[in-house]
Amino acid sequence: MKLQLVPARTGFTWIKLGIRTFLRQPLALTGLFFMFMAAMTLVSKLPLIGVPLAMVLLPGTTLGLMAATREAAAGKFPMPLMLLTGFRAGPQALRSMLILGSLYALGFLAALGTCWMVDGGGFARVYLGGESPSAEAMMEPGFQGAMWAFIAIHLPVSLLFWHAPALVHWHGLPPVKSVFFSMVACLRNLRALLVFGLSWMLVLILALLAGSLIFPVLLLMAAMFFCSLYFTYRDTFESPSGDAP
């Protein structure tokens, strides 16, 4: 495995490749994204264990979307079972992916617990979809403080796990090593990731101007975003599968 450094402008390229690949197989990739969202929503609704369990499964299912994007980029039609790619590579791979998911769940719950202590759970309930906040509630200092506390913890957690599922699955790294190398890769290519993230934020702002089309536009954008994640991994690591950067 070899880390590859990319220029900042590659962040734009990742977005372009994600959108282009999505448009090659829009029905298949949209369907897989809806299956992903539905599965995460249903699991998270389970009493007590729902949210932690959903977080445990999130890295593996995200890997499934990346694998589907890889198929579409190669001109193939991604089948629904692609969503389970991260859990179907054998007992050892399954164990590694579940350990990775457990580590991610701990990081996510630490971020959620911290913001809960700031405002008594107001932001957490909104984030998890349990409440619809009023404009006044969102402007309260407690809610704002909880939001920034969550971001401050969850952002580094996201960088730790950005490439980790792909490193576990395609490179066979142990979970802890995959997390370490994911953080190193993100820091070494931070400029490209900043361009990537800020550009997606700009696209989101433009979509918000679409008025009545906002909901379908946002769903399509989310599916395209997950497609673009695969290319952030592909261009950052020398792939053992021979994928061209």
| Percent of the chain predicted with pLDDT > 70 | 90
The domain limits of the chain are 10-234
Phi and psi of 3, rounded to 5°?
-75, 135
Residue 19 near residue 73, CB atoms below 8 Å: no
CA distances from 183 to 60, 97, 112, 149 (A): 18, 17, 21, 20
Predicted pLDDT of residue 47: 87
What is the DSSP secondary-structure string of 30-96? HHHHHHHHHHHHHHHTSTTTHHHHHHHHHHHHHHHHHHHHHHHHTT----GGGGGGGGSS-HHHHHH
pLDDT of residue 245: 45
Question: Where does the pLDDT of residue 95 fall: very low under 50, low under 70, confident under 90, or very high at 90 and above?
Answer: very high
Q: What are phi and psi of 25, to 5 degrees?
A: -135, 60
Q: Point out which residues pair with 237 in neighbouring strands.
A: 3
Q: What is the band of 244 on the pLDDT scale with cuts at 50, 70, 90?
A: very low
The whole-chain average pLDDT of the chain stands at 88
